[in-house]
Each structure stands twice: as structure tokens, then as C-alpha cells.
Copies of this chain bind each other. A is one copy, B any other.
Amino acid sequence: MPQPQPESIEFDHPCPIRDVLDRIGDQWSVLILLTLQPGTKRFNALMREIGDISKQMLSRTLKHLEQDGFITRTVYPEVPPRVEYRLTELGHSFLEPMQALVTWADAHHRTIAEARRRYRGGE
């Protein structure tokens, strides 16, 4: 029994932003939540839509998101198995302020791209 992943689940920091960012601020969480925004999706559908995530990371991140109450996981006892992921109220409420950020990104990505080019050029 290798028991490889202790999956440390601690609220170490006194600062809540740190905690939430630690979870949400990884490479995939926000992307998964955004992908689930339109509605319920299955595991492989998420894989396809996101594209460049590994199964393990998708699985792990979904587990974290479920654990933190952002999504629910429903297993239908069929063969082949069917598992559906869907946003909870908390998940939806999170995406509200997140939308503001997405809008910002949309509005400013040109500026950023330009800054990046300038930096490269003027190096």
C-alpha cells in the first residue's frame, strides 16, 4: 500500500485570500470552473474542452473543487460509467467576481501582448 498522496488539507495562513488563492490559483481550477459554467459536463467532455490537461490533474483538481464545495460529482451506476460534474451555488457565486477578471483580461490582453513585445524588442 503505497499511500502516495497525503493531500495536505490545511488552512495554515491566517489570511483567507492566501487560502483561496492557493486552491483556486493553480493552473487548472479556474479554467475548469469556467468550463463548467454553461452547465453540467462529464469527465471526458472536460478533458476535450480544456485540451491540454492530463487525466490525473483533471481528476485531482475536480476532487479538490468538490471538496471545497465548488462543484458536485454525480455518478450514474451504468455501464460504461457516467459521471457528471456541475457547479454548486458557491461555484456560481465565485464565477461572478471571476467574470470581472475575465472581462478585464479580454479588454487588456492586447496591451499586455504589446508590453511583452516591447520588452523583447528593447532588451
Contact = CB atoms under 8 A, between A and B. Distances in A.
A9 B116 CA distance: 8
Interface in A67-89: 67-69
Contact of A112 (B27, B90, B103): B90
A11 B115 CA distance: 12
A58 interface: no
Given A97-B104, A104-B93, A68 B21 contact: no
Contacts of A26: 25, 27
A20 interface: yes
Contacts of A11: 113, 116
9 tightest A-B CB contacts, nearest first: A69-B115, A16-B109, A97-B100, A20-B105, A67-B119, A97-B101, A97-B104, A68-B112, A17-B105
Given A66-B119, A90-B111, A111-B69, A30 B19 contact: no
A112 B20 contact: yes
A21 B117 CA distance: 18
B94 A97 contact: no
A90 B105 CA distance: 11
